[in-house]
A and B are shown apart, each in its own frame.
Chain A
Amino acid sequence: MSDALLPLLIALPLLAGIFPLLLGLRFERAGWPVAMTASLTVAVLAGWLAWAVSPWSGGPQRFVHDLAGYPAPYGIELVGDGLSAILALLISVVAVAVLIYGRTTGPQTNAFYSGYLLLTGGLLGMALTGDLFNLFVFLEIVGLVSYALIASSDDGRAAYGALKYLFLGTTGASLYLIGVGYALVATGTLNMGDMATELAAVGYTDPLVQAAFGFILIGFMLKIAIFPLHTWQPDAYTYAPDTVSAFISALVSTTAAYALIRIAYDVFTVDFFAANPLITDAVLLVASVSIVVGSLLALLQTELKRVFAYSSVAQFGMILAAIGLQSETALFGAVIHLVGHGLMKATLFMGAGVLASAYGAQTVADYAGLAKRAPITSGMMAVAGLALVGIPPSIGTLGKWFIALGAVEEGSWGVAAVIFISTLLTLTYIGRLLETLYFNQPATTDDETGVVGDAGDATDDGSIVADGGDTERATAGIDDVAPVATERIVVVVVLALSTVALFGAAGLFAEFLDPVFGRFFQ
């Protein structure tokens, strides 16, 4: 019975994606309720899946569903195990949070809600599929919908960002497809489980297999936004609507990184890494560079969303390093950090969105003194930011601990050093934000900002109540100041606290991941 959950989890949001547009012909505001109903159902199903694969259900901890009854390796398989269940749960929970957050802030068009559901379905498909070509299909669904959602901002720069993402994202997906093609030529199959056995038979040092992995790796590095293939990502995150930024930054790269983990360890397996030390070293080198350069670039940014975007480049560098370490401990840390990073970035982007709509704050300088006006949002951004640095107690510490421990166990001292130093690197940009929020005096003149082209109206001191009863200043250039809806702040608070609460969840993660990693590291 439980294996029917798998197609349901994917089909439900994809099919529901029609209804906001369809019902929108008749009812103008149909989109949000439809999307909410679908998301909540998906969340319940994902919870059910998580329970089903958990050790407590008593059932098998891995489910396989043959789509349309065609058996593998000819048909398409959907696979639910501990790892994909964690991802499905993360996707559905963040999706609900994003929807609640976006109720008032939009984009409130029905097209947005359709896109939102398609994206959710695509991400769940990536998380659950057991077929390499099917993964490409979902990768494309996710990509195309992301381009559309990013461009849905009124800002012309968003369209530019989306176009850039379109070019590079499509290139990435194509590289992935080429890699899959090579693997198909080498093995004659597309099913992941089947290919794992076939690859072992072909031999891991076969040039065709090496080339296949190379293309797949580069394709995903583009999608994950690892330096130097990250260039699409800051523009896309920065100019997208706040809701979309939070959604995409928390989930899209995360799911791509998950897919890379799945392919690297389930299809190519650790033996492939062991047979190709050069590829392993290259992955570790690129990852380390991404950590350092991403952090430094983040420090140089003036716009806050851009800071967070470059921060993702660094954080995913850490996850890529964990993938390259071939260590069970490090990979365990990578999955924890995937979840943790998703939650932390969602919190930070949503917090930035709240402050942007309340105070028009775009640049780091705009955040001066906002902690006094918006104590709750600022406090939660501080919590999530410190979690990102790796300050305990938070999920950020856990991920870092396991990745670093894995690096030490493997004797990769250089990688271990980079991961430890990344505390300071992350601190450079988070510390700057915190200092501005809490200790800088609000700017009284607009001459020192001047980075964003908003018509500064510094004399406007009209204040209304928002965020915990503190006064806010009217946003520059906009006359009608909308107070921030309470539920947006509640979402930020809940997500931020979850990053702290998950500090105690290492045992829980282990329960889910042990059977999966048992297969990965036989």
Chain B
Amino acid sequence: MTEIAAVRPLAAVLVSFIAAGLILVSGRRPNLREAWTILASVSMFGLVASMVPAALDGDILVTNLGTIVPGIDFALRADPLGVLFASLASLLWIVTSFYSIGYMRGLDEDNQTRYFASFAVSVAAAVGIAFSGNLLTIFVFYEVLSVATYPLVAHDETPEARAAGRKYLAYTFFGGGVLVLAGTTLVYWLTGTVDFTPGGIAALANADPTAATLAFMVLAVGFGVKAGLMPLHQWLPEAMVAPTPVSGLLHAVAVVKSGVFGIARVVLDVFGPETLAALGPDRFGDLGIALPLAALAAITLTVASIIALRKDHLKRRLAYSTISQLSYIVLGLALLEGDALIGGLLHIPAHAFMKLTLFFCAGIIHVETHTDYISEMAGIGKRMPLTMVAFGVAAAGMAGIPLVAGFVSKWYIVIGAFEGGNGIFAGVLLLSGILNIAYFWPIVYQAFFETPEDHDEKPLAEGPYGGRDRVVADGGDAGDHAVDDHHSDDHDSDHGDHHHGGPPAGGWTASNWRGGESTWFMLGPILTAATLSLILGIVPHTAVFLRIVETIVGNLPGVMG
């Protein structure tokens, strides 16, 4: 691996910051403003893509902006792991930009200038996170990302959105400003450096085990907040009040993935699998101190799937699905085994493509029909055929059905779990696959095979837990959404005042299969994202992501072979 001084890593970050400035000053001319977004996203992707061949060849492009504190430079390094995340974020930013334009204009939203500017800064921060060469640099961009996404979460300015924004800030700053900073300080104190080194910082292996363990736990939980690890996941479902493109790009790709990416950096490049395996009490076995992380991820992915079963609000169900899927990645990383690492890292792009498709589908349904609740979507396949087909494809991938991206990554994680002798985690993954089918299949099924007048009851979502006490609920079962009833899930009460969700009187009108259901501004991105997840599922090696991932894992000493 050779390091080459270059400006491209910096340029990739800056292009989007500059775009944010241009967006702000051209706020009065919407077409020009959107042109900046598109231009920036395309050029950013171009810059990042141009660094992929070098990363695959083992060359690392580095921009060093000088020393922040003694021993720590403000450095941007385009190593394979960074290129993986940066190319993903910038590629999907292009897709999302088009979708955003369709969505925001379709709903005639206020404050679009602030929205697009914050969006550009968020993506810049995400790419900055990807290219950060050490923990302090990643902390800088991590916090910029928190600040920049806050206006997007609170975009609606309703009390609910503001409350979600407050919660988001509190959680992310607890994770970033408190824990990540504390962990970085600890690592610096222990080793005198915080630079990312494949296989881990050597000095950490010999450091005081108690302090090193503390540093790992603080960092893992700090990044875990954005990665939606339970019990610090609460901000994510709340943040679903944001406009759907935000939920899509930021809460399925940039923000949550930056948390997962941070954990990947900590596991692979700060501590290294070997050091982690050596830490922790003996009874933790081969995984060492990564065992608690793996256990937390396993619990999160199961529990989140179960909660998702009962969510009737589509975006909230997707949010819990996100929490669950992110823990696949964390689990893959925490298993510390070559194939599991490949699977976990590959799940970063795989999940991004699929979840983006799903969120976009939720958004287009909202724009076109103002329907947010799954129980009102029976027969919607007639109205939005292409959308629901894409939804079905992505949902199948989520469950790990072959030919879609989710299968490949999950396969690797399961194999890795068995090879590492941790069969129980493989069992958890398979169980989660079944739960995925259980909460996605009804949506697809009822969209195509049922009609609004004639659809089955959803006892799991609508009935009380465990199916008991049916007798009590005959008062129109209005109060039955006892579970977390402060969420907007109990939508029964507000049916009266704005009944614009659900099918119109007389059922859904049929749309043609050539895009008559909406504008191509939104349909195009949906089909693109769905296609990408199919490509990654069918020919993972040709789609460059698997090769990048194999390079990353191949660079780790003592992991493969």
B177 touches A416 (CB 8 A): no
Complex Cα spacing A431 to B146, Å: 12
Which of the 9-residue segments B63-71, B362-370, B418-426 touches chain A? Answer: B63-71
Say whether A423 contacts B185, CB under 8 Å. Answer: no
Number of interface residues of A (CB under 8 A): 32
Chain B residue nearest to A507 (CB atoms) is: B67
Q: Is residue A386 within 8 Å, beta carbon to beta carbon, of the partner chain? A: yes
Q: Please indicate the chain B residues that have their CB under 8 angstroms from the CB of A405 in the complex.
A: 185, 188-189
Is A398 interfacial (CB-CB < 8 Å)?
Answer: yes
Which residues of chain A come closer than 8 Å to B144, judged between CB atoms? 391-393
| A408 x B67 contact (CB < 8 A) | no
Q: Name the residue in B136, B143, B186 with the highest tally of chain A Cβ atoms < 10 Å from its Cβ.
A: B143
Q: Is residue B448 within 8 Å, beta carbon to beta carbon, of the partner chain?
A: no
Asked whether A136 is an interface residue with its Cβ less than 8 Å from the other chain, the reply is no
Q: Of the candidates A390, A392, A408, A427, which one forms a contact with B186 in the assembled complex, judged by CB atoms under 8 Å apart?
A: A408
Taking A390-B181, A392-B139, A420-B178 as given, write out 7 further A-B residue pairs in contact, using a Cβ cutoff of 8 Å, ordered by the A residue number: A401-B181, A402-B69, A420-B181, A423-B174, A431-B170, A435-B166, A441-B157
Shortest Cβ distance from residue B49 to the other chain A in the assembled complex, whole angstroms: 27
Asked, given contacts A386-B147, A391-B147, A439-B154, whether A424 binds B67 with beta carbons under 8 Å apart, the answer is no
How many chain B residues sit at the interface, stated as a range, is 20 to 34
B residues in contact with A510, CB < 8 Å: 70
Give bound CA distance, A506 to B71, whole Å.
12
Q: Any chain A CB within 8 A of the CB of B169? A: yes
Scan residues 382-398 of chain A and give those whose CB is less than 8 A from a CB of chain B: 386, 389-393, 397-398
Q: Which of A409, A427, A504 is B170 in contact with, Cβ under 8 Å?
A: A427
B166 touches A391 (CB 8 A): no
Contact with B along A122-163 (1 / 0, CB 8 A): 000000000000000000000000000000000000000000
Q: Is A503 an interface residue (CB 8 A)?
A: yes
User: Out of A386, A416, A421, A506, which one reaches B69, CB within 8 Å?
Assistant: A506
| Interface residue? B547 (CB, 8 A) | no
- B184 CB → nearest A CB, Å: 8
Residue contacts A-B, CB under 8 angstroms, 8 given = A393-B140, A401-B69, A404-B182, A421-B178, A431-B166, A441-B157, A503-B68, A507-B67
B397 contacts partner chain A, Cβ-Cβ < 8 Å: no
Assess the A392–B140 pair: CB atoms within 8 A. yes
A51 at the interface (CB under 8 A from B): no
A424 x B66 contact (CB < 8 A): no
A48 within 8 Å of B (CB atoms)? no
Q: Is B9's CB within 8 Å of the partner chain A?
A: no
CB distance from A48 to the nearest CB of B (A): 26
Q: Tell me if B162 is interfacial: C-beta within 8 Å of chain A.
A: yes
Query: B163's closest neighbor in chain A, by CB?
Result: A435
B185 contact set on A, CB distance < 8 A: 401, 404-405, 408, 416
- 8 A Cβ contacts from A421-469 to B: 421, 423-424, 427, 431, 435, 438-441
Query: Which residue of chain A has its CB nearest to the CB of B137?
Result: A392
B residues contacting A by CB (< 8 A) are: 65-70, 74, 136, 139-140, 143-144, 146-147, 151, 154, 157, 161-162, 165-166, 169-170, 173-174, 177-179, 181-182, 185-186, 188-189
Give the residue name and chain of the A residue nearest to B67 (CB).
Answer: A507
Interface-central residue, B67, B154, B173, by most chain A CB under 10 Å: B173
Q: Smallest distance from the beta carbon of B152 to chain A beta carbons, Å?
A: 12
Which residue of chain B has its CB nearest to the CB of A435? Answer: B162
Q: How far apart are A448's CB and chain B's nearest CB, in angstroms?
A: 14
| Chain A residues within 8 Å of B140, by CB | 392-393, 397
Provide the residues of chain B in CB contact with A386, threshold 8 Å.
Answer: 147
With A389-B173, A408-B186, A423-B173 already in contact, the answer to whether A435 and B165 are too (CB < 8 A) is yes
Number of A-B contacts defined by CB within 8 Å: 87
Whose C-beta in chain A lies nearest to the C-beta of B178?
A420
Contacts of B136 in A (CB 8 A): 401
Q: Looking at the complex, which one of B66, B161, B182, B188 makes contact with A416 (CB distance below 8 Å)?
A: B182
Please report the C-alpha to C-alpha distance between residue A441 and residue B161 in the assembled complex, in whole angstroms. Answer: 13
Q: Point out the residues of chain B lying under 8 angstroms from A390, CB to CB.
A: 177, 181
Contacts of A440 in B (CB 8 A): 157, 162
Closest to A400 in B: B181
Mask for A501-512, Cβ within 8 A of B = 1, else 0?
A: 001101100100
A424 touches B189 (CB 8 A): no
Question: When chains A and B are docked, how far (Å) is the Cα of A439 from the Cα of B136?
Answer: 31
Residue in chain A with minimal CB distance to B179: A420
Minimal Cβ-Cβ distance residue in B for A392: B140
Contact A439 B189, beta carbon cutoff 8 Å: no
Instruction: Give chain B residues whose Cβ lies under 8 Å from the Cβ of A431.
Output: 166, 169-170
Which residues from chain B contact A409 at a C-beta distance below 8 Å?
Answer: 189
Known: A391-B147, A392-B139. A398 touches B186 (CB 8 A): no
Q: Which of chain B's residues have a CB closer than 8 A to the CB of A438?
A: 151, 154
Distance between Cα atoms of A420 and B218 in the complex (Å): 12
**In whole Å, how far is B66's beta carbon from the nearest beta carbon of chain A?**
7
- CA–CA, A391 to B149, complex, Å? 14
Taken together as a complex, chains A and B put the C-alpha atoms of A400 and B185 apart, in Å, by: 11
Q: Are B173 and A435 in contact (CB under 8 A)?
A: no
A504 proximity list for chain B (CB < 8 A): 65-66, 68, 74
Which partner residue on chain A sits nearest B211 by CB separation? A408
CA separation between A519 and B63, bound complex, in Å?
Answer: 37
Which single member of B70, B146, B170, B188 contacts A424 (CB below 8 Å)? B170
The distance in angstroms between the C-alpha atoms of A436 and B193, with both chains bound, is 40
Bound-state CA distance A420–B166 (Å) is: 19
Q: How far is the CA of A132 from the CA of B434 in the complex (A)?
A: 77
Residue of B nearest to A436 (CB): B162
A314 to chain B, nearest CB (A): 15
**Are A408 and B178 in contact (CB-based, < 8 A)?**
no
- In the bound complex, how far is the Cα of B186 from the Cα of A398, in angstroms? 16
List chain A residues, Cβ under 8 A from B67: 506-507
Q: How far is the CB of B94 from chain A (nearest CB, A)?
A: 27
**Bound complex: CA of A506 vs CA of B166, how far in Å?**
32
Q: Are B178 and A391 in contact (CB under 8 A)?
A: no
Q: Judging by beta carbons under 8 Å apart, are B181 and A404 in contact?
A: yes
| Chain B residues with CB under 8 A of A421 | 178
Tell me the minimal C-beta distance from B145 to chain A in angstroms.
11
Give Cα distance in the complex from A404 to B70, angstroms. 15
Instruction: List chain A residues, Cβ under 8 A from B188.
Output: 405
| A507 / chain B contacts, CB cutoff of 8 Å | 66-67, 70
Residues from chain B with a CB closer than 8 A to the CB of A439 are 154, 157, 161-162, 165
Q: In the complex, A397→B67 CA distance in Å?
A: 15
Cβ of B169: which chain A residues have Cβ within 8 Å of it? 427, 431
Q: How far is the CA of A402 from the CA of B184 in the complex (A)?
A: 12
Closest to A383 in B: B147
Q: What chain A residues lie within 8 Å of B179 (beta carbons)?
A: 420
A427 contact set on B, CB distance < 8 A: 169-170, 173, 177
Which residues of the partner chain A approach B147 to less than 8 Å between Cβ atoms? Answer: 386, 391
Nearest-CB distance from A340 to chain B (Å)?
14
Rounded to whole angstroms, the CA-CA distance of A41 and B65 in the bound complex is: 35
Residues of A near B74 (CB, < 8 A) are 504
Cα-based distance from A401 to B178 in the complex (angstroms): 11
From A393, A402, A424, A503, contact of B178 by CB (8 A): A424
Q: Which residues of B contact A398 (CB under 8 A)?
A: 68-69
Query: In the assembly, what is the distance between CA of A75 and CA of B177, in Å?
Result: 49
Asked if A424 and B182 sit within 8 Å, CB to CB, the answer is no
Q: Complex: how many Å from CA A199 to CA B211?
A: 39
CA distance A391 to B146 in the complex (A): 9
Least CB distance from A335 to B in Å reads 14
- Say yes or no: A391 contacts B143, CB within 8 Å: yes
B178 CB → nearest A CB, Å: 5
CA distance A397 to B178 in the complex (A): 12
CA A504 – CA B166 in complex, angstroms? 30
A274 vs B70: C-alpha distance when bound (angstroms): 27
A391 CA to B189 CA in the complex, in Å? 21
Please give the distance in Å from A217's CB to the nearest CB on chain B. 28
Instruction: Point out which of B165, B169, B174 has the most chain A C-beta atoms below 10 A from its C-beta.
Output: B169
Docked pose: A401 CA to B136 CA in angstroms:
10
From the candidates A391, A393, A400, A424, name the one contacting B174 in the complex (CB within 8 A).
Answer: A424
Q: Name the CB-closest residue of A to B162.
A: A439
Residues of A within 8 A of B189 (CB): 405, 408-409
